[in-house]
Structure 1
Amino acid sequence: MFEDEAAGTALCFQLIGGTARTCDASPCDDPARWVQVTMLLRTAFIVVIAALVPTVCHAQRTRLDLNGTWEFRLDPRNEGEVQRWHATATPFDDSIEVPGAWQAQGFGTRSGSLRHDYAGTAWYRRTVALPAEWKQKVVRLRIGGAHRETTLFFNGARIGEHRGFSTPFWFDVTNHVRPDSDNVIAIRVSNPGSAPTESPREQEPSRLTGMLNYIGNWGGIYGSVELQATEPTWIEDVYIRSDVDSKITKFLITVRSQATQAYPAEIRVSVSPDSEGSAALRVQPGGDTEVELALSIPNARLWSPEHPHLYNATIALWHSDREYDRVEERFGVRQVTTRGNVLLLNGKPLYLRGYGDDNIEVLTGFPPASRETYLKRLRLARSFGFNAVRYHSMTPAEAFFHAADEAGMLVMAELPVAYTQYFLPHQDLLRGELERVLRTYRNRPSLLSIAFGNELNLSWLATEDERERLLETVADFYHLAKALHPDGLVLSNDGHVVRPTDMVSHFGEGLPDLPTVKHEFGGYYCSLPDISLIDELTGVLLPTWLEAKKQWVEENGLAAQYPLYVRHSQRLQHLGRKAQIERVRRRGDITGYHYWLIVDFPGGTGEGDSWEEGWFDYFWRPKGISPRDGQEINSPVLPLIDADVHDRTLWSDVTKNIAVSISNYGSDDLRDARLSWKLLANEQLIAHEENLRVSVPMGSVQGVSQITIGPVPGKEAQRLELVVTVNGKHTNRWAFWAFPRSALLRHPDTSVYSTVKWAGIARLYPFVRPEAPRGGADGLWITSVLDDAAVRFLRSGGRVWLLADRGQVQPRAEAGFFPEAGGAQGTMVHNHPALDGFPHDGFCDLQFYNLLDGGVPFPLDEWPKDFQPIVGGTRTTTGFLSKSKDLSRVGYIFEARIGEGRLMVTTLRLREHLDEAYPEAIYLFDRLLRYATGRDFAPPIGIGVDELNALTPP
């Protein structure tokens, strides 16, 4: 299929034998011929909207799309070139679709979590007919991307090879084409080696590795393939630079010629709708000629994520009233600069609300070659408030950049250096990749920065000589990048402070002299693995990590409950996102973050088991969150409060003061902006204030108001929602819980004893006897140790409430409210009489924060399958980068029968927080005390000696 690369150019046709073909770029000076054509077209009822007597034919680049089906053959013994597979007429046995990884199309054998894997050499072959018009043309083959080494053969001749996999690349086949005949194209692609499975520091850097080839050592052609014909003199490169203050856009144009003599020419540039200019040059034979042209674009509309306006530039090469070549380039008028530690876009402070992308393509391996696919994804991410993306150790596909230009997403690209050890051994190849990346994508307004790799950690290098070499190479790369793209930002790496660099992305504090972005931000909080996705993982990856979790779920009798545990883990994960983002937005030394990750990361790689840290699942579907949830924490103008996650409860009869601030990274200063707030209880308005006037300059965080909530009407504990809005459109919301103090237990139904060393009990409940029961089995015994005396009391029919100390149960590991890095937890709060009146909606929200954070998740894996805790959960138990992420059933409040006795266990931090400052602790303690002393205390399941031993002192 032939297509005109310069869309919208007028075409000159000759009607020959009833067919239309493009003419060469010579003057069409036969009016009679055009009249004949016009009459024929009218007869055929074809309406042609074009000038019928053009003065010239516009030059066009004709291209032949070679995507689709190719012959294919694996070459495991690497013998194809010697046996001249590129020249033989014998058909290959297999076929393959281009673009696409060969693993995704069934080639190779199973290896670990890869359904098919093949590492080595393979051959693509295709026969194409080229038109006679291609005589005297320069013909080049363009490959949009291949991994990792590519060799081209054309009509039996070896044309050349390419090493690298970050950009499209070209081969000149002019001297070997056969116009008006069949032509045989053979492409040899090799992907030796394998994807890393060791942990990051243990990986062997024998082959250059980044996220393009980290999950799998994908093989084959991943970009579009085409043949393109031009005149012997053509426009080789266009570099566009804009100055937003002067509204001047400069075009640096490189003209390449295979002509045998020099001649004068002219470059003409037009930018729709009404800017144009020209510049003279003298084309040099057999080489490149550069010319610069500046255009004024009055009233230029600037490109930004919020307003991604794009211009179309037409660049044409003329000589003697003949147009030899033309190209079209989309670009945006925008300028990225820095001022101290402030990042500026078009002269205004910019806050990067970014996400991380690890090239997680669970079906295809390789990234898509489809602009439409990327547009859909990017618009989804934009709807969640993101304005930037960091690609870990890779540069995204060409189609991605064009989609990002259109969607308004800034791109932080990187060279394929997954970790420190890959940098120095491959520095020559990386230098070439750096040049190709910048030359290919420097016109893209979405390209914010290029980094030389991920986490260049000097401490990982064994010798001082290696450290010095790395610093020298970084400096060399930096100066090369600034020479190629002076207007772009250059990062030495993403993860550590290594100078020279224009910006820093790391885990640490903000620097005073450079903009600082939070590296892989978010604490790596995960949700539980979603085993419902198993049947959808039909592509390159076998869902072995999910199948292992499914087996555990079934063995533990959780098949019906597990989906709810997953959903609750996603809710907890989003609570963590909100807390993390709000904390960093309160700071003035940080200019952004890239939240890690946008989609979940699969198991079976060098990162160990799976990381369900994504906002979306493997298929770009939101994990229980809506665009509103994302926008409210990812907003350029973000209302904030000083009540952090540990400070969300209050007594109903008191007031609580809350300071409000605003992080303003919108497009303008907030001057006399409208601030409003409202407080809801059970979705009913109980307090509000409207039209407070506030002002906050761009690029700053400032306190603007104080809100007082309470007293809260009502006799029941209840969940509240505080909603703050700026100018009617920038909204944030927070949950609070109010507890009445007037309803504490005064007269229990039975005697209560306590051997817990805890003054708070006696102060709040004077009826509690500070001793152990002396005989019989009457009453409730509150204890922190289930010793022999307590067990005897239970077996004789007594009631025991074990307020478990961390050191008195096995194992002794404590848990955070939020999971540790790479970990996950889904809690479940059942509608149980023990929690009567305690507000919850089925899981541990922030009303449990102070109770659960630092508490003991008691393992219930060896307990009966039908044992159901009152408050419990399913959580991961293994550590960072573990090869197998184990799951465990845990309890925080649970009950059981022991003989005739009744036992209730709490491992929450009730005792530490039984204080007026923690109304949730007092109120929950009271609910549990009422239950344990009341008639409803009737545990449905009994436990045996093994379970009991786990509760007794070690």
Structure 2
Amino acid sequence: MIGKINLVGTWELQLDEEKTGLQEPFNDTIALPGTTSHARKGKRNQSVNVDCLTDEYAFEGWAWFSRKFDIPAGLAGAGVKLYLERTRVTTVWIDGDELGTRNSLSAPHLYELEKPLTEGRHTITVRVDNTSYPTKGGHMTSRDTQTNWNGITGRLELQFYGTAFLEDVRTYPNVPDRSVTVKAKLVGASTGTVSVSAVCANGVSRHEAVARTYDVSGGDFELCYPLGEEALLWSEWSPNLYNLKLELQQNDVTTDIHESTFGLRSFRAEGSSFTINGAKTFLRGKHDGLIFPLTGFAPTTVEEWLQVLNTAKSYGINHYRFHTACPPEAAFEAADLLGIYMEPELPFWGTVTDETYDNHNEEEQQYLIEEGYRILKAFGNHPSFVMMSLGNELWGSKERIDGILKDYKAFDSRPLYTQGSNNFQFVPVILEHEDFYCGVRFSRDRLIRGSYAMCDAPQGHVQLGPQGTLTDYDDAILPQPGMGIIGIASGQSGTIQIQYGTEAKIVEADAAVGQLIPHIPVVSHEIGQYQTYPDFNEIAKYTGPLKARNFEVFKQRLEEKGLDHLAEKYHAASGQLAVDSYKEELEAAFRTKQLAGFQLLDLQDFSGQGTALVGVLDAFMESKGLVSPEEWRTFCSDAVLLARFAKYNYKANESFEASIQLRYLRPEPLVGFKLEWALAAGEAHLASGEAIASAHFSGDYVDIGRISFSMPDVRTMTKVSLQLRIAGTDIRKSYDLWIYPDGIEADDSGLNLFGALTAEAVALLEKGERVLIMPHPAELENAIEGTYCVDFWCYPMFRSISESMNKPVPVGTMGLLIDMDHSLFKLFPSEMHSTEPWRQIVENSVSIIMDGTDRDLQPMVQTIDNFERNHKLGMVFECKVGAGSLLVCAVDAEQAGQTIEGRQFLHSLYQYAKSEDFKPHATLELSRLRELLR
């Protein structure tokens, strides 16, 4: 390139919603780069989206942009290309001459002018259409994520070239011989000379390779440039980048200079693991749908992406999977600088067909295939671009999908390829030409994550109860000899009903035969999805074109139920349970030796698809105040301590045993490290010890040893912490455990205890007596069943999907809100949120729907409902009825009494009911009580 003209600035604008054509003169202006929505152009959108954010100035149709520019004498007559970094479907005119149309959603639009531009003033007109896509576009165009914006973002420029120049420059690093192969095309000349130099200066060390000169021929050429034995490698730990300069000369005159960056790295799939430059790594990934609420489109500056990726890195993330999306170049540049492994994905979520399918759509599929080549050409030189996926949850022709993979690998062998993310769902396959597998199961029962929607049941171990930290997925990935063929999928050929996006879909499926045994690295897909209640303080943060009108609706619903005073407590309590669930989810992944990585859904909230507030960060990638990055990294980093024990609840003097392990993924050996452990109650250490072990290589799975001790002889229920630390490092971990006095019995003698609101119970209340009612959960109609874990993804979306599939509807609750200072918990001390002592109790309970009761009738144990229903749900509550005092507990006492924690709860409940502390303040009419307990 010999020069360029920047077209950033003020353009004339005309919105053409009906696509009638350009009507001059233009009637508005806009600053580009930008979008019509971000510039607040057009009609204000009055609609209220409840399932996603609302684009206040949503516009779909043709948008016409035009401006004048000047060509200086020095560039007149030179070859010229128009570069539009990121846009929709564009058609371009210069001085009234049409240049054609481009429709890539994922790569820059490049127009090559057939004739040079003369000196002086010219006019460029660009029509952008955000309706006529060859494909639906996945999260590149979805209103659930970055919106279906209209405009042009990123670089807008005219690029000028001499008579001879370099094109399609691609770099292929060779780690073993410390060199880089450069493939390019010489245009406009039959021969030339290329001078090559490379400098690495962004890391701790600096390295400059010896410059060399090569004779090249016209058309495609290839050269191998040695960097020297001292060349620096690129990885997540040392992201060393080389600035590569190619200078083309003709007869000792420079006609073109091409500059780019590359990293000397080898990212490979070796057995069940990924390696970077020969060292094992473990992918700690996050899903990304390009959600940027302040703009409604993905940023195109390195500075903005550095802020986003640095935040993710502070939470231990080293990998990004872009759901049906490809980010702009600045994202790859920032990832290059930080050492983050990137996986773009074709903008497709559907069925790949061939001529055997009735719904064969060759035009769309050819577009998607070409889109893949465009992504590879545009971003393939980035060392962070290490993986590529063909789409999300694809179905259809396995032969066609595998053929696409084969062709991509022949074109560009640098990234690793997968057929897609969670393809074929209940009947997964591994294709010949894919390098790694990304999914959620290997059959219906061979699960490799901890949570699932009800329509994808069986649910995962985090939802059904870990009861300790022993779960891993090794046997699900590689069934052991003698286990037999387990968990065959649905078993029928023909059709199968699946969840597809926000709907249900009937697809073709082959019958599952035998067991699918992976021989390539396995990545667990979209793990987590633990929802938190909305933080309505977030509404004020939406100062851009996207408005949180869904949050406003949720807030109004809560106010209408008279529960708005509990909003912040709902958020905090559900959020803490979600964090605890994520901890077990992530640790189960780290415990699995056969797993090569995971992809969270998500570290941040997902703004659409029903509004899925599944992040510990909000949609702005900012903290919700639930967990610090430092604490999160204790179970999500390149060195994770793991204690594996059977349960969380213990009797006094009971033996505790745990196997202590270290998943070590750092490049520096950790030889002869000292593990320090302690059982602590506050500042007091009740037991402690040390162990010595070594981690020699990245990827080591170190069995440090077993620890055992007797729990202290406590007289009251006591929460303790098992604390682990490797001396002299940042590697630590803690687990909460609970100890109960031995011999505790739930003594209900002396109580007026009833299983229903009987005539006798009413008579006692009328006489001013104290009454405890513990109705059997199965006999209550006006109630929601008890479940410990927070709701998966979000209730409205999966309620709808389950109903359409005739599957069980999710319970939809989000943990407990506990009045922890209440006297009820004098003998059963609790947090504000659900903790493991409550798991078995909750699973044997219901919560009574108390809608319409007075605000001062606040349950001591309240179940948090989802933002669609917003029921007031009481598991334990008290009130005055007539002259008497009533305590209601909707727990199955017989089942709860089977565990030590259940007996302790019942003991605390009964003792409270007998005590002078039992003095309810709220009142309830008898007729209303009958309705509640029907």
TM-score scaled by length of structure 2: 0.83
The answer as to whether partners of 1:528 and 1:826 remain within 8 angstroms in 2 is: no
* Aligned equivalent of 2:756, options 770, 785, 795: 785
Partner of 2:401: 474
Partner of 1:703: 703
Q: Which amino acid aligns with 1:827?
A: L
Partner of 2:550: 545
The answer as to whether partners of 1:153 and 1:186 remain within 8 angstroms in 2 is: yes
Partner of 1:493: 420
1:515-914 matched pairs, under 5 angstroms? 515-522=521-528, 524-603=529-608, 607=609, 609-624=610-625, 625-643=627-645, 647-667=647-667, 671-694=671-694, 698-699=698-699, 701-712=701-712, 715-727=715-727, 728-741=729-742, 765=747, 768=748, 779-823=750-794, 825=814, 827-830=816-819, 831-876=821-866, 885-908=868-891, 910-914=893-897
* Aligned equivalent of 1:299, options 230, 236, 239: 230
User: What is the Cα deviation at residue 671 of structure 1?
Assistant: 4.2
1:133-282 matched pairs, under 5 angstroms? 133-147=74-88, 149-173=89-113, 175-179=115-119, 181-192=120-131, 207-215=136-144, 216-257=147-188, 262-272=190-200, 273-278=207-212, 280-282=214-216
Deviates more, 1:901-910 or 1:425-434: 901-910
The answer as to whether partners of 2:788 and 2:815 remain within 8 angstroms in 1 is: no
Alignment deviations for residues 172-201 of structure 1 (CA, whole Å, 9 cap, x no partner): 23625222x11211111101169xxxxxxx
Q: CA RMSD in A?
A: 2.5
Structure 2 vs 1, CA of residues 192 and 695 (structure 1 numbering), >3 Å: closer, same or farther?
closer
Structure 2 vs 1, CA of residues 162 and 692 (structure 1 numbering), >3 Å: closer, same or farther?
same
Partner Cα distance (2:586, 2:18) in 1: 53
- Runs of 5+ in structure 1 lacking a partner? 1-59, 195-204, 459-466, 745-760, 770-778, 878-884
* Aligned equivalent of 1:932, options 913, 918, 924: 913
Q: Which amino acid aligns with 1:166?
A: S
Partner of 1:463: none
SS at match of 2:370: helix
User: What is the Cα deviation at residue 366 of structure 1?
Assistant: 1.3
User: What is the Cα deviation at residue 788 of structure 1?
Assistant: 3.7
Partner of 1:23: none
Q: Which amino acid aligns with 1:156?
A: G
Q: Which amino acid aligns with 1:705?
A: G
Partner Cα distance (1:923, 1:643) in 2: 22
Partner Cα distance (1:855, 1:425) in 2: 55
Structure 2 vs 1, CA of residues 265 and 512 (structure 1 numbering), >3 Å: closer, same or farther?
same
Structure 2 vs 1, CA of residues 575 and 504 (structure 1 numbering), >3 Å: closer, same or farther?
same
Q: More relative contact order in 1 or in 2 (CA 8 Å, sep 6+)?
A: 2
Q: Which amino acid aligns with 1:66?
A: L
User: What is the Cα deviation at residue 206 of structure 1?
Assistant: 6.5
User: What is the Cα deviation at residue 720 of structure 1?
Assistant: 1.4
SS at match of 1:840: coil
Partner Cα distance (1:454, 1:643) in 2: 36
User: What is the Cα deviation at residue 785 of structure 1?
Assistant: 3.2
Structure 2 vs 1, CA of residues 69 and 723 (structure 1 numbering), >3 Å: closer, same or farther?
farther
User: What is the Cα deviation at residue 293 of structure 1?
Assistant: 2.4
Structure 2 vs 1, CA of residues 933 and 854 (structure 1 numbering), >3 Å: closer, same or farther?
closer
User: What is the Cα deviation at residue 405 of structure 1?
Assistant: 0.7
Partner of 1:17: none
The answer as to whether partners of 1:556 and 1:865 remain within 8 angstroms in 2 is: no
Partner Cα distance (2:234, 2:198) in 1: 19
User: What is the Cα deviation at residue 921 of structure 1?
Assistant: 2.1
Give the % identical residues. Answer: 25
Partner Cα distance (1:547, 1:919) in 2: 43
Alignment deviations for residues 453-504 of structure 1 (CA, whole Å, 9 cap, x no partner): 1000x3xxxxxxxx3xx33431232122112221211111111245232111
Structure 2 vs 1, CA of residues 696 and 861 (structure 1 numbering), >3 Å: closer, same or farther?
farther
SS at match of 1:223: strand
Partner Cα distance (1:424, 1:350) in 2: 39
Q: Which amino acid aligns with 2:859?
A: P
Partner Cα distance (1:946, 1:537) in 2: 46
The answer as to whether partners of 1:340 and 1:512 remain within 8 angstroms in 2 is: no
Deviates more, 1:325-334 or 1:708-717: 708-717
Partner of 1:15: none
The answer as to whether partners of 2:274 and 2:280 remain within 8 angstroms in 1 is: yes
SS at match of 1:434: helix
Structure 2 vs 1, CA of residues 933 and 424 (structure 1 numbering), >3 Å: closer, same or farther?
farther
Partner of 2:438: 505
The answer as to whether partners of 1:310 and 1:332 remain within 8 angstroms in 2 is: yes
Partner of 1:117: 58
Partner of 1:333: 264
Partner Cα distance (1:311, 1:281) in 2: 23
User: What is the Cα deviation at residue 669 of structure 1?
Assistant: 5.8
- Runs of 5+ in structure 2 lacking a partner? 201-206, 354-360, 443-476, 478-516, 795-812
User: What is the Cα deviation at residue 426 of structure 1?
Assistant: 1.3
TM-score scaled by length of structure 1: 0.81
Q: Which amino acid aligns with 1:74?
A: L
Structure 2 vs 1, CA of residues 68 and 405 (structure 1 numbering), >3 Å: closer, same or farther?
same
Alignment deviations for residues 140-163 of structure 1 (CA, whole Å, 9 cap, x no partner): 11110102x101111221112101
Structure 2 vs 1, CA of residues 298 and 852 (structure 1 numbering), >3 Å: closer, same or farther?
same
Structure 2 vs 1, CA of residues 421 and 75 (structure 1 numbering), >3 Å: closer, same or farther?
farther
| Matching of residue 360 in structure 1 with residue 361 in structure 2 | no
The answer as to whether partners of 2:81 and 2:159 remain within 8 angstroms in 1 is: yes
Aligned length: 812
Q: Which amino acid aligns with 1:845?
A: T
* Aligned equivalent of 1:93, options 21, 27, 32: 27
Partner Cα distance (2:117, 2:132) in 1: 34
The answer as to whether partners of 1:270 and 1:315 remain within 8 angstroms in 2 is: no
Deviates more, 1:111-120 or 1:586-595: 111-120
Q: Which amino acid aligns with 1:400?
A: A
Structure whose alpha-carbon radius of gyration is higher: 1
